[in-house]
Amino acid sequence: MNQEKSISLKRKPSVIISSIMLSLFIFSCGGPSGNSTKIDIEEIGQQLLVLDDNVQKEIAKSPLDARGEEKIVPRTINDDGSLRVVAGHDWTSGFYPGIMWYMYELTGDPEWKGKAVRYTSKLTKEMYNGSNHDVGFRMYCSFGNGLRLIEDEIYVPVLVQSAKTLIARYSETVRSIKSWDFNEEVWQFPVIVDNMMNLELLFWASEETGDPIYRDIAIQHALTTKKNHYRSDYSSVHVVDYDTITGAVRQKNTHQGYADESSWARGQAWGLYGFTMTYRCTKDKQFLEQAEKIAGFLLNHPRLPEDLVPYWDFDAPGIPNEERDVSAAAIIASALYELSTYTENGGELKEKADQILESLGSVYASPAGENYGFILAHSVGNKHGNSEVDVPLNYADYYFLEALVRQERLANNKPVV
């Protein structure tokens, strides 16, 4: 995307960053080794080919999920050691097509383009899936990246419908998009900080259609999140529940963090990324300031490890013996690359992002051919719920590759997004 018209996907990007033999050098500013780590895109490609082969094998054995829907993409590794392949309705389904699109962007290899097109097409019907807020994750990571890279106009109506589906969850009273429909005995109108990530789809939709409703809703949701999710130290609550009649805050909870008052690492990462993106799409300085404050909370936290890969919750009681969350680190790195282009201390933020990628590539990567072919290991989905603890996760791989793309674009003096 272009900085002057950064939310449009219609501008022709530089699709081919490099050939399949590209290696990216990530220079540490004090990581575990103190040296540079070579991340070989060809090796990553070989790993992902292993994953894709394992996906097809798993689908051949068990083609349908518990709801009777077609399994499509890998999500993680189950407790019993088997590969978990999920259907399109799963909130993570858009990340795997996005991984294929990023591999195409990094290599120019038509094999990745073919895989990206095929997996993306399998999600088409999800443009009508309004069961939760995750429409943006499903559709913008897949169809959005596809439109950005190959400008296939058939993706446009799918994305516009996806945006319509998402804003149907907006409440004028609450002035937010409702995240979830479950736990109705506990929550009336739960909004999670993760929901910031889905606003990019709405900004794009207003740019594409000329209808300001999508943009207006996105901005109001961001303002409500900024007001009610954040504490004085710029850490974030996970869930804020609202009264549907008055719009007042009923309670503040966690669903995936350690405790209601703790700082769940991935939640902090979602907020950093979301407010950085919202600034890009609005140029409203209050969103930039919010992103900068969140970055300060993260990078200056006394319990952030030296390698900058956070524990799953900054307040988890067993630190330093708690699990790290590689997915949070990857999201933070990607967000910092973009934020570095907007701030006076951009060089420092870029160095921090470089250090995170150095750590991920040197310490947290899956050994070649292992973990079914996932790129990274050691993520935590929901330790609070004893789910997906210390395992690979597809969104960790997605944001890792996005960070690599952004790092490479910075190195070549190109717009990050």
Which residue numbers are catalytic? Answer: 134, 194
Single-letter code of the amino acid located at 56: Q
Residue 405 CA, chain-centre distance (Å), reads: 14
C-beta of residue 113 within 8 angstroms of C-beta of residue 177 = no
- Give the pair of three-digit tokens for residue 334: 């990607």
CA atoms lying within 13 Å on the CB side of residue 189: 19
| Segment (H or E) for 379 | strand 379-382
Can you spell out the DSSP letters for 97-128?
Answer: HHHHHHHHHHH--HHHHHHHHHHHHTTGGGGG
- Give the pair of three-digit tokens for residue 21: 């033999």
CA pair distance 178, 133, nearest whole angstrom: 7
Query: Which 3 state secondary structure label does DSSP give 224?
Result: helix
Single-letter code of the amino acid located at 84: R
Peptide bond just before 320 cis, omega within 30 deg: yes
CA atoms lying within 13 Å on the CB side of residue 341: 22
Number of H helices, E strands in the chain: 13, 11
- Give the pair of three-digit tokens for residue 101: 């699109």
CA pair distance 366, 181, nearest whole angstrom: 35
**Which residues neighbour 112 within 8 Å (Cβ) at sequence distance 6 or greater?**
45, 100, 101, 103, 104
* 249 bridge partner residues: 242
Cβ count within 10 A of residue 364: 22
CA pair distance 368, 319, nearest whole angstrom: 29
C-beta of residue 308 within 8 angstroms of C-beta of residue 326 = no
C-beta of residue 1 within 8 angstroms of C-beta of residue 12 = no
Residue 176 CA, chain-centre distance (Å), reads: 20
Can you spell out the DSSP letters for 191-220?
Answer: EEGGGGGGHHHHHHHHHHH--THHHHHHHH
